[in-house]
Amino acid sequence: MLGRETMARVAIVTGGSRGIGRATAKQLAARGDAVVVGYAGNAELADEVVAEITAAGGRAVAGRADVADEKEVAALFELGEKTYGGIDVVVNSAGIMTLSPIADLDLDALDRMHRTNIRGTFVVLREAARRLRDGGSVVTVSTSVVGLQLPAYAGYAASKAAVEATSLILARELRGRDITVNTVAPGPTATSFFLDGKDQETIDRMAKQPPLERLGTPEDAAAMISFLTGPEGHWINGQTIRSNGGII
């Protein structure tokens, strides 16, 4: 039997068409994983990721799924199983963010955010718990704002605090299957997700927060995810890693 170090593995990456998810899909493919690039709406971007992976000699296929829709998520897992034979790695990078002071927060926006970030996490993790092959790995994506607790981030931070709690509980529930479940919580990262709607002064100020004095990159977060889902990181389990350059 092939060991974890040598077995060709299959990864699902939700939110894989852009940002941290895109960088993660490419890094996992570069190390030899076959990747299912999950996306919510932009098929063109997802197809670009697949094309980049295959052009570099990797294996990838794109699949559309609203992470909060259990039937679509099940179909995404089935795509990986039918195309590559099974699922070993699940990275739930899909998420949305609405910023607002609590006093002004639109509750419909809060519901939409929590539907994707909380319900979506539950749906993806439930499917992972049912389908992941023994010896696999799961990584969810949170945010360092859970610890920083910045004004205007309350709704988003609350949704990601739920992600962190849920992930730890799943790690404990999967006892006996040699499956790890961890969370990566990036700080400010140079993606459209973070940059859109912010003026340059705000971006520059937030870039100065960590002692390393720069924004994170999608590749920074992807490298941590790759480590946690690889053989070298398999002893790490049930943890939230604040990958943020040292922001306190």
The residues annotated as belonging to the active site are 156
Residue for token pair 């690889």:
230
Nearest of 27, 34, 32 to residue 6 by alpha carbon? 32
Q: Are strands 89-92 and 60-64 parallel, antiparallel or unpaired?
A: unpaired
Q: Which two tokens stand for residue 199?
A: 């003026």
Return d(Cα 200, Cα 228) in angstroms, integer: 33
Q: Residues 157, 113: contact at Cβ < 8 Å? A: no
**DSSP character for 230?**
S
CB neighbour class for 211 (10 Å; exposed up to 12, middle 13-18, buried from 19): exposed
Phi, psi of 110 (to 5 degrees): -60, -45
Exposure on the CB side of residue 53, measured as CA atoms within 13 A: 29
Nearest of 27, 70, 36 to residue 184 by alpha carbon? 27
- Residue 173's SS3 state is helix
Largest Cα–Cα distance of the chain, in whole Å? Answer: 58
